[in-house]
Structure formats: structure tokens, C-alpha cells
């Protein structure tokens, strides 16, 4: 999520929506129950993340998505990615988009 940007006339040039990136694995169910059969694929949240996981998500998914949705006239300006309350902060890098 980012701050939306508007032209002077009030027309929106950037909605501020970047995307949602999940940290999950997809595994087949081991047993059946009343809601699903065995071997049905389930999404399971990752219980622990490492700095390398966050970094690969930033480089592989988040930065390219920002690049494709960011307004062309603002591409030369710096972009700051805020990482609130994350133990696995990725250290400051200069991203050349």
C-alpha cells in the first residue's frame, strides 16, 4: 500500500495499491474430514521467516510490482519501503528502478 497520487485536476494517476504477497506453502491434506477429502491441496502459513525469505520476496515480487505500477514521472525519485515491527528487517539498499 502506498499513498495515492493525483493530477492537479483531481484525476488519479496512481491508486496506491501494490498487492498482497502471502508467505504460505501448498501441501496435500494428510487425512480427510467432513470439509475435504484426503490429498486436497491446502494453504498453510509459514511459521517462521528468515531475512533471506523477506529479501527474496522484496526483490522478486514487491519491487517489480512497484516498478510496473509506479507513475512514470516519479520513477527517478527514491522509494522508501517501511518495515514495521519486523525482526527480519532487510537492510537499506538503493534500488535502481
Asked if residue 21 is part of any domain, the answer here is yes
Asked if residue 15 is part of any domain, the answer here is yes
User: Which domain range does residue 58 map to?
Assistant: 5-74
Asked if residue 87 is part of any domain, the answer here is no
Number of domains in the chain: 1
Asked if residue 90 is part of any domain, the answer here is no
Asked if residue 80 is part of any domain, the answer here is no
Residues 91, 70, 3: CA angle, nearest 5 degrees: 75
| Burial of 47 from C-beta contacts in 10 A (0-12 / 13-18 / 19+) | exposed
Q: Please give the model's pTM, rounded to 2 decimal places.
A: 0.64
Asked if residue 89 is part of any domain, the answer here is no
| The predicted structure's pLDDT at residue 75 | 79
Tens digits of residue pLDDT in 35-91: 889 999 999 998 888 888 888 888 899 888 888 888 888 778 887 777 777 666 776
Amino acid at each position: 500500500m502506498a499513498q495515492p497520487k493525483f493530477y492537479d485536476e483531481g484525476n488519479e494517476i496512481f491508486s496506491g495499491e501494490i498487492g498482497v504477497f502471502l508467505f504460505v506453502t501448498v501441501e496435500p491434506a494428510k487425512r480427510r474430514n467432513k470439509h475435504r477429502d484426503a490429498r486436497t491441496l491446502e494453504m498453510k502459513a509459514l511459521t517462521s521467516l528468515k531475512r533471506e525469505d523477506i529479501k527474496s520476496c522484496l526483490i522478486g515480487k514487491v519491487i517489480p510490482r512497484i516498478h510496473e505500477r509506479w507513475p512514470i514521472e516519479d520513477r527517478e525519485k527514491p522509494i522508501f519501503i517501511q518495515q514495521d515491527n519486523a525482526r527480519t528487517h532487510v537492510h537499506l539498499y538503493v534500488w535502481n528502478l
